[in-house]
């Protein structure tokens, strides 16, 4: 594999899940593979799980991780083509990506969307510029429209916890005080579309995700109806896609409660706002898989890095 | 040992000091012990010595340190129980601590007090929440009420530099322009109470430390009287405990001078404000042990990590 | 070698270049040399190339790099002698440098000039204080008046790309929106003065560098004249030295264009403001050596660290 920037980079999700389970069972088996190789982790935004789990994955493979907070540690980066750089940006991505490629064998990038300019966000300017101008493989640690390490993690977690041949998985929108990106919901949707599950999305009117992502996945605006016989309820807030980046008024209470989900397993990518997105009773119950998901972040990242290292 | 959050976690200070000396004499002897183990260093506050010495200690044990400035790098963390998280905090400590435990074999935390709310500070909310919700051992890198790595360091340094069977050790308050925590003074007091030394505390009226910490240690409000025949003068500013977090007016000049301490060894945890806390002539003299103390921070941290690793 | 703080620390630039080429050909040959040794990288200012390449160099030598952003991570540092520290600085360099020396086998420091106080900048207070008060070797990662790792890099790059016995090298000033330091231009000048090249400097009136640096190097105020028969055009903006730190009005257009430099190789230390300092057509052409320069930063740093490690 060259780059990993989307769930679409996974050719066969079942074989990937099997390989991730092997890695999880024996995480140090490939400690020689990454020896004398560096992973550059470039953060344009905050990160806890991704920051730590991707470093841990690199260490398990014998790699040396080098972390940089681009905004605070380095220079304002220009992405425009042909720009006369007489403003606030001091370094062009053409140089930045090529330069980092001199020091890192793989570059991992996190860059959130603006949520104000749909077209710009969907162009994935930052991530795609790294792919274009870096001379080494690029891994998305969450970009404007996708979080493929999370989506892979979630697929692994569902496979591990499923007791049925074809479980029912619901992706449910939930309330939040801030306007949030669509990245996690998009990648989860794409991952579920590749798996042998019954997959539906529950969200209020006005909150349908990008139809190019959801494709023929059923979208249900009644949460109770969607949750019927669910085995997994994956919860996430996202801002409106149609009214791009807006937090619309929502009449119904979409907060996840124990009553609503019954025996279904609860999933969330974290961080999660307690008693806004989901009540304490769910998170503190045995139904919650959120910590197991966080654990699987390491093995998802390790699988991706392993596949890239094998093709270096 | 499971956690190290207080000087009270030291069962036998003399045997710990002996072991620390062995580590100092041969710091790489246990390089295999921490192999493939990660130490997560989480900073809610600034740090120089602790940041570097704890990483160095981890490296000496073969561990991989992963550093995170919680405030800048990650999300605002909520500590309240049952909180409806519709404010500025984005992640609850229940998740944060459990999640970090998935990636780190030991978690080290630095979290200073507010100095405005005594009850809250004494609850040690941040440190104790990590202890409660992490599934791995937790080490304090200074919390609201204690700095046990520093206290252990100071015990080692006094043991190394003592020429008497039972030296006289004075902990002296000194002036400062800012209101500072009690953590270092508390842990030093607790460490001295465990050692075979004559220990007294010198501070102005209104600056007595928490009596539950000082217990029956003599508190003397006359610095000159306290310094008589002293072998070690450990200096530190702290804000008032009674008038919690206040910097009171102090008539007498409590700045440490060469004249005042005579032949006694001078100690301070650093950073120190020159010519406010102590005059240059003391710091620049052979009587000063402050750099040796800083050096011993590595071995104190290494001893603590070694004991935890041995019991993992 | 003890410290590396200036191009003047290079005793024989040709033998250094040869050794750098050997390192580049076999970068892991000395992986045992730095084992169990730590490199502390202290940043008082932003950095991308230096931050990453110096870490990479340390890793290639088997060292453990420890990075600290002094401003954000630690305490305000005082440099004055005899200061009564009742202001904003919390730790004196005397302690800071001595303390970091307890944890790091080599200390690398980046500290930019004020550009407002020539005398203070030329005193190199921060760098020289580390040299004075640290007990371990100090490496400049760019100081007020020099960037010797960059100058060494540039010498290596010219040696690698030269097809003539004695190539003509021009250092040309170029426009910028901000007032920039003289460090890169100074160290490049000093490096060229040590090499067997025909070296001239082109800059507008009022922008002559410090005459103690330029010495008898010809300074030409006509860019076209200076570029005649040039083999290498090294471009860099700097603020006025005479009117210290000022950006003066400049009539002529000094932006580097393809037309101006013809077949000459283009060099720049990066970051570079496109279409202000140099037009896209130059940077995006085969004449540009900027990415190769960035690559050589690793080997320049590795050479310096190797020489220091060999003398530890």
Residue of B63, B73, B132, B134 to mutate when probing chain A, most A C-beta within 10 A: B73
pLDDT band at B23 (very low <50, low <70, confident <90, very high): very high
- For chain A, what is the total number of helices (H) and then of strands (E)? 13, 11
Residue B112 φ/ψ, nearest 5 degrees: -80, 165
Give the three-state DSSP class for C170. Answer: strand
With contacts defined as CB-CB under 8 Å, which chain C residues touch A64? Answer: 59
Q: Is C29 on the interface with A (CB under 8 A)?
A: no
Is C95's CB within 8 Å of B280's CB? no
- Substitution target in B34, B102, B107 with the highest count of A β-carbons within 10 Å is B102
A283 CB neighbours in chain B (<8 A) are 94-95
Res. A252 pLDDT band, cuts 50 70 90: low
CA atoms within 13 A on the CB side of C38: 22
Query: Is B148 known to sit in a ligand binding site?
Result: yes
Give tens-digit pLDDT for C237-262: 999 999 999 998 776 699 999 999 99
Average pLDDT on A18-23 reads 98
Alpha carbon distance C130, B104 (integer Å) = 34
Percent of chain C surpassing pLDDT 90: 95
Predicted local confidence at residue C252, as pLDDT: 63
The reply to whether residue B53 touches residue C83, judged by beta carbons under 8 angstroms, is: no
Q: How far apart are alpha carbons C172 and B256 in whole angstroms? A: 56
Using alpha carbons, select from C240, C186, C177 the residue that is nearest to residue C208. C240
Of the candidates C48, C273, C284, the beta carbon closest to that of A85 is on C273
CA distance B115 to chain A (A): 28
Phi-psi bin for B207: left (phi > 0), alpha (psi -120 to 50), beta?
alpha
Tell me if chain C has a CB within 8 Å of the CB of B47: yes
Mutate to test the interface with C, among B38, B52, B64, B156 (most CBs of C within 10 A): B52
Q: In chain A, what are the domains?
A: 7-145+297-310 (3.40.50.1370), 148-293 (3.40.50.1370)
Please compute the mean of the pLDDT values over residues B187-197 and round it to a whole number.
Answer: 98
Picking from C72, C272, C297, the nearest residue to A72 by CB comes out as: C72
Pick among C52, C58, C180 to test the A interface (most A CBs inside 10 A): C52
Residues 6+ apart with CB under 8 A from B81: none
* Beta-bridge partners for A274: A278
**A104 part of contact set with chain C, CB < 8 Å:** yes
First to last CA, chain A: 8
The CA-based angle B171-B174-B177, given to 5 degrees, is: 145
Cβ distance of C91 and B48 shorter than 8 Å: yes
* DSSP H or E segment with residue A69: strand A64-69
CB contact under 8 A, B103 and A273: no
Q: What is the mean pLDDT of residues C13-20?
A: 98
Q: Residue C75 and residue B275: Cβ atoms within 8 Å?
A: no
| Shortest CA gap C162–chain B (Å) | 43
Contact with chain B for residue C251, Cβ under 8 A: no
Segment C28-61, tens digit of pLDDT: 999 999 999 999 999 999 999 999 999 999 999 9
Residue C217: pLDDT above 80?
Answer: yes
The residues, ordered by sequence, that sit 6+ positions from B80 with a Cβ below 8 Å of its Cβ are none
A50 is in an annotated binding site: yes
Residue B249 has pLDDT above 90, yes or no: no
> Chain B contact for A29, CB < 8 A?
no
Average pLDDT (C140-152) is 98
- What ipTM was predicted for this assembly? 0.96
Q: Does residue A235 carry a pLDDT above 90? A: yes
- Touching check for A82 and chain C: CB below 8 Å? yes
Pairwise CB contact (< 8 Å): A53 & B103: yes
The reply, when asked if residue C269 is annotated as ligand binding, is: yes
Helices C290-310, C49-60: crossing angle, 10 deg rounding: 50
Q: Among A68, A82, A95, whose Cβ lies nearest the Cβ of C270?
A: A95
* pLDDT(C129) > 70: yes
How many Å lie between the alpha carbon of A180 and the closest alpha carbon of chain C? Answer: 28
Contact check, Cβ <8 Å, C56/A74: no
C307: number of CA atoms within 13 Å, CB side?
Answer: 20
Sign of the dihedral defined by the CA atoms of residues A97, A101, A104, A108, in that order = positive
pLDDT at A72 over 80: no
Does pLDDT of A254 surpass 70? Answer: yes
Residue labelled with tokens 């009553």: A259
pLDDT band of C73, cuts 50, 70, 90: confident
Q: Determine whether the interchain pair A53/B85 forms a contact, defined as Cβ–Cβ distance below 8 Å.
A: no
* B236 is annotated as contributing to ligand binding: yes
- Strand ranges (E), chain C: 38-43, 64-69, 77-78, 91-92, 106-110, 138-140, 168-173, 198-202, 219-220, 232-236, 265-267
Confidence class for position B251, pLDDT limits 50, 70, 90: low
Mean pLDDT of A163-186: 97
Instruction: Look at residue C214 and tell me whether its pLDDT is greater than 90.
Output: yes
Give the minimum alpha-carbon distance from C142 to chain B in angstroms, rounded to a whole number: 21
Please answer yes or no on whether B75 and A280 come within 8 Å at the CB atom: no
The reported pLDDT for the residue numbered A74 is 79
In the predicted model, is pLDDT for residue C72 greater than 80? no
Cα–Cα distance between B198 and B217 in angstroms, integer? 9
Nearest by Cα to A190 from A201, A180, A181, A179: A201
Q: List the B232-236 sheet strands across, edge first.
A: B219-220, B198-202, B168-173, B232-236, B265-267
Q: For residue C158, name the pLDDT band (cuts at 50, 70, 90).
A: very high
Whether residue C276 and residue A74 make contact (CB cut-off 8 A), yes or no, is no
Q: What is the pLDDT of residues B68-97, one digit of tens each?
A: 998 777 788 999 999 999 998 999 999 999
Place of tokens 């002296």: B172
Question: In the complex, which subunits touch C with 3 or more CB pairs below 8 angstroms?
Answer: A, B
Average pLDDT over chain B, rounded to an integer: 96
Which helix or strand (DSSP H or E) is residue C15 part of? helix C13-25
Residue A69 contacts B where some CB pair is shorter than 8 Å: yes
Residue environment code for B126-144, b if the CB has 16+ CB neighbours within 10 A, otherwise e? bbbbbbebbebbbbbbbbb
Over 80: is that where the pLDDT of C145 sits? yes
- Whether B193 has a pLDDT exceeding 90, the answer reads yes
C104 is in an annotated binding site: no
Q: Does A75 touch chain C (CB under 8 A)?
A: yes
Contact A103 C53 (CB under 8 A): yes
Q: What's the CA gap between B56 and C102, in Å, rounded?
A: 10
**Proportion of chain B above pLDDT 90, given as a percent:** 95
H or E segment at B38? strand B38-43
Residue C71 is predicted with a pLDDT of 78
On the CB side of B9, CA atoms within 13 Å amount to 21
CB contact under 8 A, A294 and B98: yes
The reply, when asked if residue B217 is annotated as ligand binding, is: no
B6: closest CA among B122, B93, B168?
B122
């Amino acid at each position: 594999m060259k780059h990993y920037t989307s769930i679409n980079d996974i050719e066969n999700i079942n074989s990937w899940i099997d390989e991730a389970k092997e890695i999880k069972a024996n995480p140090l088996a490939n400690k020689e593979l990454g020896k004398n190789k560096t992973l550059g982790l470039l953060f344009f935004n905050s990160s806890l799980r991704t920051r730590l789990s991707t470093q841990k994955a690199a260490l398990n493979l014998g790699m040396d991780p080098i972390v940089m907070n681009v905004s605070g540690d380095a220079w304002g980066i220009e992405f425009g083509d042909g720009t006369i750089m007489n403003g606030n940006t001091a370094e062009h991505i053409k140089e930045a990506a090529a330069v980092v490629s001199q020091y890192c064998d793989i570059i991992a990038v996190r860059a959130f969307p603006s949520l104000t300019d749909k077209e710009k966000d969907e162009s994935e300017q930052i991530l795609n510029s790294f792919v274009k101008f870096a001379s080494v493989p690029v891994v998305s640690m969450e970009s404007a429209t996708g979080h493929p390490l999370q989506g892979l993690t979630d697929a692994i977690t569902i496979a591990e916890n499923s007791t049925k041949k074809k479980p029912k998985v619901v992706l449910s929108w939930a309330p939040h005080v801030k306007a949030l990106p669509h990245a996690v919901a998009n990648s989860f949707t794409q991952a579920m579309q590749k798996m042998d599950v019954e997959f539906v999305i529950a969200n209020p009117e006005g909150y349908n995700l990008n139809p190019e992502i959801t494709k023929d996945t059923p979208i249900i605006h009644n949460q109770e109806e969607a949750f019927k016989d669910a085995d997994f309820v994956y919860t996430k807030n996202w801002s409106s896609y149609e009214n791009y980046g807006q937090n619309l008024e929502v009449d119904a209470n979409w907060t996840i409660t124990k009553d609503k989900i019954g025996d279904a397993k609860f999933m969330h990518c974290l961080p999660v706002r307690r008693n806004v997105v989901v009540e304490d009773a769910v998170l503190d119950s045995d139904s919650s898989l959120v910590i197991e998901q966080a654990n699987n972040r390491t093995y998802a990242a390790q699988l991706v890095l392993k596949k890239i290292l094998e093709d270096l």
